[in-house]
Amino acid sequence: MRLKAVFLLLVTQCALLIAHAQTPRTYTSSEILLQLKKLNVLGSVLYIAAHPDDENTRLLAYLANEKMYRTGYLSLTRGDGGQNLIGDEQGVDLGLIRTQELLAARRIDGAEQFFSRAFDFGFSKSPEEALKIWGHDKILSDVVWVIRKFKPDVIITRFPTTGEGGHGHHTASAILAGEAFEAAADSTKFPEQLKYVSVWQAKRLLWNTFNFGNTNTQRDDQFKIDCGGYNPLLGKSYGEIAALSRSQHKSQGFGVPAQRGFSLEYFKTIKGEAPVKDLMDGVALNWFKAHHASAAFQQQVQRSVDKIAADFSAAAPERSVPALVELYKMIDEGIKEDSHYDDTYWKEQKLGEIKKLVEMCSGLFMEAVANTQYAVQGDTLKVTMTVNNRSGANIINADAQIDTTYVIFDQLKPNFNAIKTYNWFIADTAKLSQPYWLENEMNHGSFNVTNQQLIGKAENDPLSVTFSMMIEGKEFTFIKPVRYKFTDPVKGEIYEPVNIIPAFSITSIPEVSVSLQNNDWEIKSFKDKNLFTAPVFSAAGVALEPLIKDTVLQKNQVIVVHSRGIKGTPVSANNKEYVKLRTINYDHIPSIAYTKRSRYIYQNIDLKTVGSVAGYISGAGDKIPEALAQMGYKVITLKESDISAEKLQQFDVIITGVRAYNTNEWMNNVYDALMQYVKEGGVLVSQYNTSNQIGPVRAKIAPYPFTISRNRITDETAKVNFLLPEHKVLNYPNKITDKDFEGWIQERSIYNAENTATEYQKVLSMKDPGETEQDGSLVIADYGKGRFVYTGLVFFRELPAGVPGAYRLFANIIANKRQADNAPKKNDNQNQKIKLPSKFNGSGARN
Ligand SMILES: [Zn+2]
C-alpha cells in the first residue's frame, strides 16, 4: 500500500499532458510499472472502422491499459473527404492532418494506428459504391495484410454489415473485416504477402454495438464489459483518457467531456466462438502462448516478469535494469529464430518492450537535434546528438550511427550530457520525405503504394540516428528521429519533425485561373549559393526560353518570374521536376511538409460577371475569396464591426463562408443589418451550414424560415434538373446548361435546405442513385428589392479545382440584383468554349 501511495504522488504530468505534439515522451515510475506488468500479457485486439474518429477511444484505452493487450486501430481511410473545422485544407491535405490527429490520439490511449490505401472520397450512401470506388480486392488485401502482421486474437468492428452505421464507408469496413477474418487464415488468398508474414486466424470477430441516440443496436443479451474503470497508475479513468484522446480530432470539432463511472460496452459475435466470460475466452494470454518453448521456459519467463514487477522501486527504477537485461537475454536465447512464427512474433514484440523498459528505468536520454527544420537536398544539416545516463545505471561505450558514420561518445558519467555533432550532407539525390501514400499518382478511390512493407503504416519512418551502448554487459541499439528543436518565447521548447525537401520550391501564382492566361512563378531557394536554371518545355517537349538561367539564389531568397505567355508546361529546373513545398502547421500536431507537382491550371471559361465588389464573411475556412478575385471581384473580408446597413451599401454581394453561422457567434448581431442590406437591393449568399454534429446554427440566416437538413448528393455526376429553367439564376449573365455540371469533383451538395417557406424558389433538383429527387441544393427568395440565396452546392470544392460550370453558376448566383433586373429577359446565344489544356486538367490528387 505504501508503494501505491508513492505512485500516486508520482503520477504527475504523464503522457496525457504532452505540451506539444513532438515533445519526446517521458515516463513516470507508475507508467513504467504498467509497462512492466504488460510483459506477461500476450494478447492483442484489432479494432476496425472507416475513418479517423470512428474508433471507440474508451474501449481502446481500456484494452491497452487495463487489459494491457497490444491494441490497434485500423482506419481504412485517412479522412481526406471529411470537413475541416479548423482551416481550409481539403482532400489529401486534410487526410494528412487527420492522420496526425489519430496518432496524437493513440499516444494518449496507448493503441497503435494503421491505415489501408483507401481514399476517403467523400460521403457514400452504399457499401457497394464504396467498395467499387476503393477497389474491393485492393482494400481487402490491405486489411488481410494488417491482420497477418498484427496477429490479433480478437477483431472488433465499430459498424455492422447491415447498414445501421449509416455511411457506406462504415458498412464497407465491416464487410471487409468479415471477409478478411477468413482470408487472413487462407494461404490461397493474397499469397504474395506470405513471403513477409504468415497466415493468421483470429479467435473471433465481434461488432462493438452502439447507441447513437437515433440508432440503438445494443441489446441486453449481448456480451458486455465495463470499460469505465479507474487506472491508478495513470491517475485516470478510461472515460477520461478516452475524452483526451477523442478531443485530438480537432479538425472535426470532436472535443468531448471526460466521463467517469461504470460504463458498459456491448458486443455482438459475428464470427468465431462467442465470448461467455471474457473477450479473450479460449485465448492463451501469457507466456504459455509460446507453444514451441518448453513449459519450464514459459514458467521461468512468467516468474521473472512477476519478480521484476514485485521488486520494482518507484524511487529507484534503475535497480530493475539488471533483471530486465537478464530477461531480455532469456527470451532472446530461449525462443529460437526457427521456432513457430507466432512465437517469434511475440518474441520480437516483447524484446522491443523490454528494451524500451531498460531505457525508461535507467532514465537514459538520447536525442538527435538538427539546427534547421528542413534537411535540404544538396545542403548540410548540422545534427547535435546527446546521450545522458541520468540514473547512473551500468551503461558504457555509447556510439551513434548517423548517415554512414559512427560517432563515438566520451565515457558516460552519471547525469552528464555526452554531446557530439555531425554535419550530415544530404545528397542531391536523397529521397524526399514524401508521405509514402502520396509518392505515386493516386486513383480516384485509392492511393497507389507498391512497396508491400509500407502498406498499413500510419506514416513514413523519420530521418533517424541509431544509438548503441552496452547496458549491463549487453549491447542495445535505439533508433531516434532527428528533430528540429527551438524555443518559442510564448510556447516554450518545441520539437518538430525534420523533413528532406528539395533545394527549391516553385509555386504558380495563381495556381488556378479563370481569367489570367499568364501566371507568375514564385521560386524560393532553401539553400545558399543555389545555382539555378529553370528550363521550360512546351507540351510537345520542345525547349523554350528558360524561366531563369544560371541565377544564384541564397537561402530563403524568393524571386518571382512572370511566365511571359509561355504556353507550355514547365517541367523541370536543375533537371528536377518542378515541385512546390506544401506546409501545414497547427499546434496540436507536428508540422507537415511535403511536395506537390507545381502546376498552373488555366481554365478558359466563357464567364460573365455582374457587379464588382464582394463582401466575404469567413466561416470555418475556404478558398472562395481567391476564386472571387479570379472572377474579377474586389473582395473585402468583413468582421462584425464592418457590418452595418450603411457600410454594406458599397457591396454588390455579401457571401458567407462555409459554416459561418456555426463558427461565428456574432452572426446574430448582424442579422438585422444583413436583412436591411437585402431589402434595399443587395444579394446575400449563404453557403452551407450544418444543422448539428459540428455545433448548432447559432444565428438566424434568412428573411424567411427554412431548415438545414443533413441531405446531400454524393454522386458528383448526378443529373441536375432545372426546375425553373426561366429563372434568372440559370440565365443571367451566363446561360447555364447540362454542360455546366460536368467535371464536378467529390459531390454535388451537402446540408441542403428543407421545409422552406413558400417565398423560396427551388431552382434545381438532383438525386443519388436509388434515391428520390432532392430540391434543396439551391433555394432563392426575393426580399424587398434584393435576393437571399442558400446553397448546399459545394462551390468551396469546385471553384478551387477550377471547374468551369461551377464558376458560371456561381457568377449568376452572386450577380448584382439591380443590374440583373435591368437585364434583357433573353440572353444572347452564347457558345460554350471551355478549353482544358490537356496537361493541366489536374488528374492527380484532388485537393
Ligand atoms: Zn466515420
- pLDDT tens across 182-194, in order? 999 999 999 999 9
- For ligand 1, the distance from its centroid to the CA atom of residue 125, given in whole angstroms, is 12
pLDDT reading at 16 higher than 50: no
> Looking at per-residue confidence, does 695 or 420 come out higher?
420
Please give the Cα distance from 303 to 293 (Å, whole number). Answer: 15
- Check residue 529 and give its pLDDT: 82
Residue with cell 478510461: 238
Distance 55 CA to ligand 1 centre (A): 8
Q: What is the mean pLDDT of residues 7-30?
A: 57
pLDDT single digits (tens) 551-565: 888 999 998 887 755
Task: Place 5 in a pLDDT band, splitting at 50, 70 and 90.
Answer: very low
- Rounded mean pLDDT of 1-9? 36
Choose among 601, 593, 702: nearest CA to 656.
702
Taking the centre of ligand 1 as the mean of its atom positions, its distance from the CA of residue 118, in whole angstroms, is 13
**pLDDT at residue 574 tops 70:** no
Mean pLDDT of 297-319: 96
Strand 380-389 and strand 520-525: the pairing is unpaired
Count CA atoms within 13 Å of residue 630 on its CB side: 32
Q: How far is the CA of 104 from the centre of ligand 1 (A)?
A: 18
Q: Which residues contact 342 (CB under 8 A, 6 or more apart)?
A: 151, 198, 289, 291
Distance 621 CA to ligand 1 centre (A): 22
Gap from CA of 428 to ligand 1 centroid (Å): 41
Tell me how far the alpha carbon of residue 711 lies from the centroid of ligand 1, in angstroms: 16
Dihedral sign from CA coordinates of 619, 625, 631, 632: positive
| CA-CA-CA-CA torsion sign (784, 824, 628, 746) | positive
Model confidence at 829: pLDDT above 50: no
pLDDT number for residue 535: 67
Residue 426 pLDDT level (bands cut at 50, 70, 90): very high
CA of 228 to the centre of ligand 1 (A): 23
Distance 170 CA to ligand 1 centre (A): 6
Q: pLDDT (tens digit, 9 = 90+) per residue, 651-675? A: 999 999 998 988 888 998 999 999 9
pLDDT(459) > 70: yes
CB within 8 Å of 322: residues ≥ 6 apart: 394, 472
Given this model, what pLDDT does residue 106 score? 97
For 40, 101, 200, 306, the CA distances from 287, given in Å and listed in that order, are: 7, 34, 19, 12
pLDDT, tens digit (0-9, with 9 covering 90-100), for 462-485: 999 999 999 999 999 999 999 999
Check residues 769 and 157 and name the one with the higher pLDDT.
Answer: 157
CA 140 – ligand 1 centroid, Å: 18
| In the chain, % of residues over pLDDT 90 | 72
Residue 178 is predicted with a pLDDT of: 98
User: Ligand 1 centroid vs 87 CA: distance in angstroms?
Assistant: 20
User: Quick one: how far is CA 815 from the chain centroid?
Assistant: 37
Give pLDDT, residue 816. Answer: 75
Cβ proximity of 144 and 189 under 8 Å = yes
820 CA → ligand 1 middle, Å: 43
CA distance 516 to 648: 29
Give Cα separations from 334 to 293, 327, 345 (angstroms). 7, 10, 14
DSSP-based three-state secondary structure for 230:
strand
Q: Calculate how far, in angstroms, residue 573's C-alpha sits from the geometric centre of ligand 1.
A: 42
| Ligand 1 center from residue 620 Cα (angstroms) | 20
Centre of ligand 1 from the C-alpha of residue 467, in Å: 40
Per-residue pLDDT at 379 exceeds 90: yes
DSSP 8-state secondary structure symbol assigned to residue 87: S
The more confident residue out of 57 and 515 is: 57
Distance 75 CA to ligand 1 centre (A): 9
pLDDT reported for residue 562: 78
**What's the CA-to-centroid distance between 158 and ligand 1, angstroms?**
9
pLDDT value at residue 511: 82
| Gap from CA of 497 to ligand 1 centroid (Å) | 28
Give dist(CA 752, CA 768) in Å, integer. 13
Task: Reply yes or no: is the peptide bond before residue 191 cis, omega within 30 of 0.
Answer: no
794 C-alpha to center of ligand 1: Å?
A: 20
Q: Which residues are bridge partners to 446 per DSSP?
A: 118
The Å distance, Cα 80 to ligand 1 centre, comes to: 11
Q: What is the pLDDT of residues 430-455, one digit of tens each?
A: 999 999 999 999 998 999 999 999 99
pLDDT at 11: 32
CA of 171 to the centre of ligand 1 (A): 10
Evaluate the omega torsion of the peptide bond into residue 733 and state whether it is cis, within 30 degrees of 0: yes
Residue 23 binned pLDDT confidence (cut-offs 50, 70, 90)? confident
Strands (DSSP E) contained in 254-337 are 264-272
| Centroid of ligand 1 to alpha carbon of 445 (angstroms) | 16
Taking the centre of ligand 1 as the mean of its atom positions, its distance from the CA of residue 693, in whole angstroms, is 12
**Nearest one of 273, 155, 140 to 207, comparing CA atoms:** 155
pLDDT digits (tens, 9 = 90+) for 691-740: 654 455 667 899 999 989 888 898 999 999 999 999 999 999 999 999 99
**Three cell numbers written together for 246:** 477523442
Expressed in angstroms and rounded, the spacing between residue 53 Cα and the centre of ligand 1 is 7
Looking at 355-509, which runs of residues are DSSP E strands? 364-370, 374-376, 380-389, 395-402, 405-408, 418-425, 464-471, 474-488, 492-497, 499-501, 504-509
Q: What is the pTM of this model?
A: 0.84
SS3 243: helix
The number of helix segments (H) and strand segments (E) in the chain equals 17, 41
Q: Which residues contact 66 (CB under 8 A, 6 or more apart)?
A: 227, 229, 231, 238
pLDDT one-digit tens code per residue, 64-99: 999 999 999 999 999 999 888 888 898 999 999 999
Distance 98 CA to ligand 1 centre (A): 12
Mean pLDDT, residues 347-354: 95
Dump pLDDT digits (tens) for 228-280: 999 999 999 999 999 999 999 999 888 889 999 999 999 999 999 999 999 99
Residue of 600 and 489 predicted with greater confidence: 489
The residue type found at 623 is K
C-alpha 120 – ligand 1 centre gap (Å):
10
pLDDT, the chain, mean: 88
Mean pLDDT, residues 758-776? 94
